[in-house]
Amino acid sequence: MTDAAALPGQPRGAVVSGPATDRAVNVLAPNPSAMTLDGTNTWILSEPDSPLAVVVDPGPLDEGHLRAVRDTAESLGKRVALTLLTHGHPDHAEGAARFAELTRTPVRALDPALRLGGEGLSAGQVVAVGGLELRVVATPGHTGDSLSFHLPADRAVLTGDTVLGRGTTLVAHPDGRLGDYLDSLRRLRSLTVDDGVHTVLPGHGPVLDDAQGAVEFYLAHRASRLAQVETAVEDGYTTPAEVVAHVYADVDRSLWPAAELSVRAQLEYLSEHGLI
């Protein structure tokens, strides 16, 4: 068995529902798959002595899960006052409207189509509820509307799908763009260097206790894959499907359709920079 401390980001191990930091509690959604790993992590955030909580990514439209999130908050003596979305993919956001009904809370997101209650989110904004402060960090790339939330009091960052607790994420072309994604990873790295962030609370997979190590791994992985794609094109593999079969031969074939989205984003990036 591999020592978790030796893995990128130092994952904690099994993904479970329960406390992750002083202010963050996970409720794991029952939607495991090759793409969602153990399932979607729905985060309940609150100051320890506050009766109010914020929920990030209520997850899929699963009535049992949505009620479990609400009931977990109530069991902690909290009332959900606000729902936030890291991005609009269904495994994170499909249940938001129903969750808003259950909790009578507004839903805030970057994408106006996902908002309930009018108010949105923007980079650099501070969201304050019951003494809890979250700083909105723009992290586009996985999708155009991807956000992360910096939780300074816990030296943590909630990354949605920008950084996962295990493996790497895809750049969902054409909405997701590789250049934006690389900039977002560098932005997260700055949080680890300049703001002391050491914990990643991801949208899927285990909590990571070495945020800087995780981001550095992601950056190195992207650079390696990009170089492989560039070489593949030089060797005559010109279509996205051909590049996937050549470069991602070590990846489960069930993930090749997703890998093709990332390859399309990489080919676009290489073309824009005059490298192919």
- For residue 270, tell me if it sits in a domain: no
- For residue 266, tell me if it sits in a domain: no
Bin 42: left if φ > 0, else alpha if -120 < ψ < 50, else beta: beta
Task: Report the C-alpha gap between 35 and 91 in whole angstroms.
Answer: 10
Q: For residue 222, give the nearest of 246, 197, 186, 191 by alpha carbon.
A: 186
Residues 6+ apart with CB under 8 A from 43: 20, 24, 25, 26, 27, 55, 56, 57, 158, 201
Give the model's pLDDT for residue 245. 96
- For residue 69, tell me if it sits in a domain: yes
Q: For residue 172, give the nearest of 209, 203, 140 by alpha carbon.
A: 140
- For residue 31, tell me if it sits in a domain: yes
pLDDT band at 1 (very low <50, low <70, confident <90, very high): very low
Task: Report the C-alpha gap between 53 and 169 in whole angstroms.
Answer: 28
Name the token pair of 145: 């509307």
Query: Mind listing the pLDDT tens digit for each residue in 122-159?
Result: 999 999 999 999 999 999 999 999 999 999 999 999 99
DSSP result, 100-128: HHHHT--EE-SSGGG-BSS----TT-EEE
Query: Which domain, by its residues, includes 194?
Result: 18-209
What is the total count of domains within the chain?
1
- For residue 253, tell me if it sits in a domain: no
Give the model's pLDDT for residue 2. 46
- For residue 123, tell me if it sits in a domain: yes
DSSP one-letter code for 240: H
Q: For residue 248, give the nearest of 235, 270, 234, 232 by alpha carbon.
A: 232
Q: How many CB atoms neighbour CB 17 within 10 A? A: 16
CATH code at position 85? 3.60.15.10
Give the model's pLDDT for residue 4. 64
Query: Mind listing the pLDDT tens digit for each residue in 53-110?
Result: 999 999 999 999 999 999 999 999 999 999 999 999 999 999 999 999 999 999 999 9
Task: Report the C-alpha gap between 188 and 185 in whole angstroms.
Answer: 5
- For residue 11, tell me if it sits in a domain: no
- For residue 232, tell me if it sits in a domain: no
Which residue(s) pair with 37 in the sheet? 33
Given CA atoms 41, 44, 45, 48 in this order, what sign does their dihedral have? negative
Task: Report the C-alpha gap between 130 and 77 in whole angstroms.
Answer: 13
